[in-house]
């Protein structure tokens, strides 16, 4: 390899990928008969729960004159717009009443739809399938059927505990995601006396392989300075512990650590809210510490600390990015970031050309870095 090759220029286009499931809100924020606003990929949404507790999501704009439906009245089944009182079925978005119509006016009310989106609830989150933008002039139609079910955090036993954390960051989704998969910032951003110092930095070598729509850091014994590893060592022999980390488009990072019958897993997403804002949501599941009084709190504390360190860093980074500086990606530490951009490009090319997506990785690759 030519060691004098200039580092590749990085140009995050902040392009947002439609046609995928995204985490909209933590479940507990959406109560019966109360409407909540949310924003995904610059699309304003109104999210609620029907009388049976099933979640729904609609574009937060009435198809009549654009009034936010979140300003309307919800009776547990139908949503009434606050401007002219049109009523919509909360799940399908189908219009069911236009109060201004007289008995002899034959407008087909049932052909009018508010923009309903497929909605699912898993792992303490409400997920919304954000479809490809409809062609101009198509108007609001029925919700499109998602090709796959909403993602879930990996679990490996019937009984387990679940916890989540959420933080908003003032950077575009690309910076959020490459920050998430960046191995080199650890010793500088995630320092703590109980955790690691920058002097613990050492050379690492990790094997990666392509998986559909993403890549995997192949199963290996975790870094001796990773948090769940330190905790799991209390339960199992160090060499029986393995971890696997996957990244899959559009924004899913899952990590699984197994030690015999004990396991810990997480599903982290970085969700584009607008072009310049994203939100990181971490859901962790585990079957360890069930009898340890401080286990879950300890874990939450460690994760909250990490997420806050990343959030603070990106808040500062946003200052530096304001005036559009030139940036770069270097080998090998930024190779996962390069793969991310290549995957995204390959996905968009395939969609535009109506072809199979061509995976940017030809086969397994070993990367080396110090962290
Ligand atoms: S704007 Fe909603 S009913 Fe007219
Ligand atoms: Fe981080």
Closest atom of ligand 1 to CA, residue 85: 3
Output the residue whose Cα is nearest ligand 1's atom 3: 84
The distance in angstroms from the start CA to the end CA of the chain is 23
> What pLDDT digit, counting tens, does each position of 308-352 carry?
999 999 999 999 999 989 999 999 999 999 999 999 999 999 999
pLDDT tens per residue across span 76-108:
999 999 999 999 999 999 999 999 999 999 999
65 lines ligand 1 (CB under 6 A): yes
From 59, 67, 112, mutation site for ligand 1 pocket: most ligand atoms within 8 A of C-beta = 67
Q: Which residues surround ligand 2, an ion (CB under 5 A)?
A: 310
pLDDT value for 194: 61
Best residue among 58, 62, 80, 114 to mutate for probing ligand 1's pocket (most ligand atoms within 8 Å of CB) is: 62
Cβ atoms of 50 and 77 closer than 8 Å: yes
Q: Nearest ligand to the C-alpha of residue 62?
A: 1
* CA gap 252, 271 in Å, rounded: 9
- Contact indicator for 296, 163 with CB cutoff of 8 Å: yes
- Average pLDDT over all residues of the chain: 89
Q: How far is the CA of 353 from the centre of ligand 2 (A)?
A: 36
CB distance 64 to ligand 1 below 6 Å: yes
Give the separation between CA 171 and CA 89, rounded to whole angstroms: 36
328 CB neighbour count, 10 Å cutoff: 10
CB 43 within 8 A of CB 129: no
Residue 73 beta carbon below 6 angstroms from any ligand 1 atom: no
What average pLDDT does this structure show over 116-134? Answer: 92
Percent of the chain exceeding pLDDT 90 equals 69
Distance, CA of 190 to CA of 198 (rounded, Å): 9
**Rounded to two decimals, what is the model's pTM?**
0.91
* pLDDT tens for each residue of 2-26: 444 444 545 556 789 999 999 999 9
For the CA of 98, the closest atom of ligand 1 is 3
Structure confidence by residue, pLDDT tens digits, 183-206: 999 889 987 766 666 677 889 999
What separation in Å is there between the alpha carbon of 265 and the centre of ligand 2? 17
Bigger pLDDT: 122 vs 32: 122
DSSP string, 23-82: EEEEGGG--TT--EEEEETTEEEEEEE-TTS-EEEEESS-TTT---GGGSEE-SSEEE-T
Q: Which atom of ligand 1 is nearest to the CA of 62?
A: 2
User: Ligand 1: which residue has its CA nearest to atom 1?
Assistant: 65
- Any idea which ligand is nearest the CA of 185? 2
3: its two tokens? 């060691």
Please state, in angstroms and rounded to a whole number, the distance separating the CA atoms of residues 301 and 355.
Answer: 45
DSSP state of 109: G
Work out the widest C-alpha separation in the chain, in whole angstroms. Answer: 81
Give distance in angstroms: CA of 87 to centre of ligand 1.
9
Residue 67, ligand 1, Cβ within 6 A = yes
Measured between alpha carbons, how far is 336 from 329 in angstroms, rounded to an integer? Answer: 10
Backbone dihedral angles phi then psi of residue 74, each to the nearest 5 degrees: -120, 130
Q: Which residues pair with 175 in a beta bridge?
A: none
* Count of other CB atoms within 10 angstroms of residue 155: 16
What is the whole-number distance in angstroms between the Cα of residue 211 and the centre of ligand 1?
A: 46
Q: Determine if ligand 1 sits within 6 Å of the CB of residue 261.
A: no
**What is the whole-number distance in angstroms between the Cα of residue 343 and the centre of ligand 1?**
41
The answer to whether 61 and 68 are in contact (CB under 8 A) is yes
The DSSP 8-state label assigned to residue 131 in this structure reads: P
Nearest CA, atom 4, ligand 1: 84
């Amino acid at each position: 390899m030519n060691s004098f090759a200039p580092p590749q220029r990085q140009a995050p286009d902040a392009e947002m990928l439609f046609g995928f499931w995204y985490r909209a809100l933590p479940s507990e924020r959406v109560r019966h008969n109360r409407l909540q606003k949310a924003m995904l990929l610059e699309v304003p949404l109104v999210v609620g729960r029907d009388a049976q507790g099933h979640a729904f999501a609609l574009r937060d704009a009435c198809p009549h004159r654009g009034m936010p439906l979140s300003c309307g009245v919800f009776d547990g089944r139908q949503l009434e717009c606050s401007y002219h009182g049109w009523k919509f079925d909360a799940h399908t978005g189908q219009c069911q009443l236009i109060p201004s119509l007289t008995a002899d006016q034959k407008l087909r009310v049932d052909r009018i739809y508010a923009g309903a989106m497929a909605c699912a609830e898993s792992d303490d989150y409400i997920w919304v399938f954000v479809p490809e933008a409809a062609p101009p002039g198509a108007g609001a139609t029925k919700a499109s059927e998602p090709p796959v079910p909403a993602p879930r955090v990996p679990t490996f036993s019937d009984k387990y505990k679940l916890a989540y954390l959420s933080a908003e960051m003032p950077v575009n989704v690309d910076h959020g995601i490459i920050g998430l998969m960046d191995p080199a910032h650890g010793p500088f951003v995630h320092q703590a006396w109980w955790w690691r110092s920058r002097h613990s930095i050492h050379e690492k070598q990790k094997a990666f392989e392509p998986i559909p729509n993403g890549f995997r850091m192949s199963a290996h014994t975790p870094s001796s300075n990773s948090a769940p590893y330190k905790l799991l060592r209390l339960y199992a022999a160090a060499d029986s512990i393995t971890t696997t980390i996957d990244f899959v488009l559009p924004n899913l990072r899952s990590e699984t650590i197994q030690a015999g019958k004990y396991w810990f897993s997480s599903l982290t997403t970085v969700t584009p809210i607008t072009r310049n804002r994203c939100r990181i949501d971490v859901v962790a599941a585990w079957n360890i510490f069930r009898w340890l009084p401080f286990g879950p709190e300890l874990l939450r504390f460690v994760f909250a600390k990490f997420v806050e360190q990343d959030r603070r860093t990106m808040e500062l980074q946003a200052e530096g990015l304001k005036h559009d500086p030139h940036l770069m990606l270097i080998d090998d530490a930024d190779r996962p970031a390069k793969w991310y951009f290549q995957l995204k490009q390959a996905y968009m090319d395939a969609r535009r050309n109506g072809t199979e997506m061509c995976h940017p990785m030809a086969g397994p690759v070993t990367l080396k870095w110090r962290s």
